[in-house]
Amino acid sequence: MNEGSAERMPVILGIDDLRALPRATQVARTSLEGILLLEENRDHEIDELWLDHDLGGDDSIMPVVALLEEAAFDGRPFNIGMIFVHSANPSGAEVIVRVLKRWNYRVRRATV
């Protein structure tokens, strides 16, 4: 390591109401918390973003997906290395993957 340089710690964000997500550096449990978490990291490189579709009760990840879509539409997509969708809801997960790929985010289905 060069003098004066610091190794950057990876930023791994998770939005999931139940899973522990042990690799995540920050976890949000609701869509509102997820939006706030992304906004807090707006100007940083996010190495990984883990998304669950169903967030308990009537809450879902779709407001977060809408934020990501809007940012890309405005020409300022979030700087995210890879988005992992780990939902047990197959149709919901497919919608997330399709929508985010449409906006050129790197996204794929994953298991935890």
Name the pTM for this structure: 0.90
Which H helix or E strand runs over 83? strand 80-85
Question: What are the pLDDT digits (tens) for 40-88?
Answer: 999 999 999 999 999 999 999 999 999 999 999 999 999 999 999 998 8
pLDDT band at 20 (very low <50, low <70, confident <90, very high): confident
Distances (CA, A) of 36 to 39, 71, 73, 104: 5, 14, 19, 22
Q: For residues 8 and 25, give the distance between their C-alpha atoms in angstroms, rounded to a whole number.
A: 13
